[in-house]
Structure 1
Amino acid sequence: MKFFLSLFLSFFIGLSTLNTVVFSQEVSVDLEAGEQLFSQNCVSCHAGGNNLVNPSKTLSLTDLKDNERDNLAAVIKQVTNGGNGMPVFSERLSEEEISNVANYVFSQAVNDSW
């Protein structure tokens, strides 16, 4: 259910021309918690939205688009499953935590806030 909701949300986010992220009331998204989780789990490789393992795959919206990760569902999938040098976080983080950190990452990218 959460996967389909995330997929549904990513569709509308992709259609949005605004620099804001729209969330359903059913999903409790906490960007502050996402930022904290990012600092605890991601910043060692992705400080400032960069990528120390693969510098061509930063968290900028341009690079996310180039690597087909420019929607919320794709970011959630990447965080959940890892791959290409990124660890699997589904073993360490709950679905809610993954959603929070993915929403934080996507929000930072969409708002060019790295």
Structure 2
Amino acid sequence: MLEPDCEENILRIFLLVFVLAIAILKLIFIPPALAAEASIGAKIFNNNCASCHIGGGNILISEKTLHKEALSKYLENYAEDAIPAIIHQVQYGKNAMPPFKDKLTEQEILEVAAYVFQKSEQGW
């Protein structure tokens, strides 16, 4: 039989190894896409944009998606500087898209623009 102090130390080591194993498994099995989905930009997008642009699409004008090819075609200056082009679109809107400059802060607009750019580069 082990001494009580020895049993406590073994239990502590076991718990430490168990917690570390769970942390390592989370790192291995949680895909990076899920981490991006939890970003601030993703939350802003989901709260303000996803109703029309779910999955990078466009429920109103099917060809004007948030996919890289469509953004390159429909956003002025996208090829030269993508994020400022997306920021401009979010701030001022166009056609059916409303402006968000009075609804979102500058930081929120930057976050959602970076998110849209990242997702468009990844193919949504």
TM-score (norm 2): 0.64
CA RMSD of aligned residues (A): 1.3
Question: Could you tell me which residue of structure 1 aligns to residue 85 of structure 2?
Answer: 74
Amino acid at match of 1:77: H
Contact 2:56 2:66 survives alignment (8 Å): yes
Structure-2 separation of matches of 1:68 and 1:91: 21
Deviation at 1:52, TM superposition (A): 0.9
Question: Could you tell me which residue of structure 1 aligns to residue 52 of structure 2?
Answer: 45
Deviation at 1:107, TM superposition (A): 0.7
Gaps of 5+ in 2: 1-37
Matched residue count: 83
**1:58 matches 2:75:** no
Deviation at 1:98, TM superposition (A): 0.2
Structure-2 separation of matches of 1:44 and 1:111: 20
Q: Which has the larger radius of gyration?
A: 2
Q: After superposition, where does 1:1-114 map in structure 2 within 5 Å?
A: 32-68=39-75, 70=78, 71-112=82-123, 114=124
More helix, by proportion? 2
Amino acid at match of 1:46: H
Gaps of 5+ in 1: 1-30
Deviation at 1:111, TM superposition (A): 1.9
**Identity across aligned pairs (percent)?**
40
Q: Which runs of 4+ in 1 moved over 3 A?
A: none
State the structure with bigger RCO (CA 8 A, min sep 6), 1 or 2. Answer: 1
Amino acid at match of 1:66: K
Contact 2:75 2:86 survives alignment (8 Å): no
